[in-house]
Structure 1
């Protein structure tokens, strides 16, 4: 009977109680209640049938005490010793079974939480990888787009002036070589960062704005910069995003706008900054859409900022980027 106590705990408990009651109705020597019922009570409690275990125990105690009292056993002995000892032993067995069940459930819950935590860590790692891939794609798009635009313009200048003005052609080719060197260095830094996630190489920020403007001016575009308010250090991610917004905006001007001049405004206020990049080109018909604008909007959205683009009534194209800060 006890061999199936784990599969049918309640049935085993009731059958054991019935056999024990039948035994006491015979002329065999009397035995206690707790020891014969211990295994069945433990199994019932361990399988979550605590109420059945308590109910059967109480019923056996009442029936046994009443029967022995009718047979003439000393009532003081029955209630003062036999009943108390049997009840205590049965309660201990039931409590032990319930404790084992609770501990198993606790361990199962810990394992479930550990699996959920592992799964969440894997998902977070996948999200980080995806964010990093998107970030690298944006950076490469901005970098290559700007550099290719500069190289293309200088190559055109060199081609047109190769015969009539060799010196201008030479300067343009020197600028092409310098642009190629810059892009190769940044590509190497990007590959190094991808191969070694712990690499802390500096990322481009507004401190490199002068170099960016110099390369754009060398491509034949008149770039003016106006800074308003005291400069404040920006978080690294915001600083890099601001640089990329300017870089992509200048790339769009070089590629699409057919402009002669660009005005860049940086207004610092509190711990934030507002960027404006405006050209005198042909407006949104050339630069109003594309992956560059989408990438800039995504950068600003991740930082809680706002990017607006428009074509002013007096011509040109305007990009406004607001980075989070107390003033906005």
Structure 2
């Protein structure tokens, strides 16, 4: 059996998704009638170990990624995939995905404030009893007066968000280099204000970025982030240099070396390069090279197998004395 049902095989597997969900990808005790999974009513064969991301906030070492839930699939030039994911990941399927994740110890979702997200997060928690923790990055504009961003942080606090972090797109821009490599004047002052805006509403605050410059900007300017959300994946896939929504970890070796000296928890994201690498490849590379947590975009039928894979990776002897000590 392969490490995962890859997105290249999604068309084939989506047609059989009801069967796969009923079987829980081999990891759930589910009824023969394949009723939608409900929070607290799923029995999982394995769970992900937990660690402290920030004071008072313990989460699983695997976090549920939000992009597939918002249908942002990074499907390169395959234009139909976005619609296909949207047809599959309905609101009900999203709730089922989160319930299955919770059962496996994947108890935090990382997501941005796309249209409708706040509403269905609240519905899942308040109506269906979901226990998923919310780590949310506001997409609000960051300006000198910080009004829009500050208001967004207050709103997220009021609805029950567990932590707020600076969206990676904004982090890149404020560090002086965006995702496409365009240069601008760094604004560490605004980056610091974004972190303070989250802390001022009483929540743990992180900073995200695709570029290593984001982390360097924070460290060199003593920006008091509680944790970092930084890309990490290898270049071991054929399309890595096509330069068409194909790469998110631009300097992995430099990132690995720099992060050895960073004393804050690190959530690695895009570890599978949006489906170009297997979970085993992505998790192994990330954890061996210093990540404390891995963010994974998964469909419901992938969760059980991916959790089993991560547990096998976490048990590798090479992780006992890895070059970057475990911070969390």
Higher relative contact order (CA 8 A, sep 6+): 2
Larger strand proportion, structure 1 or 2? 2
TM-score range, shorter chain: under 0.3
Q: Given the two structures, how large is their TM-score scaled by the length of structure 1?
A: 0.25
Larger Rg: 1
Greater fraction helix:
1
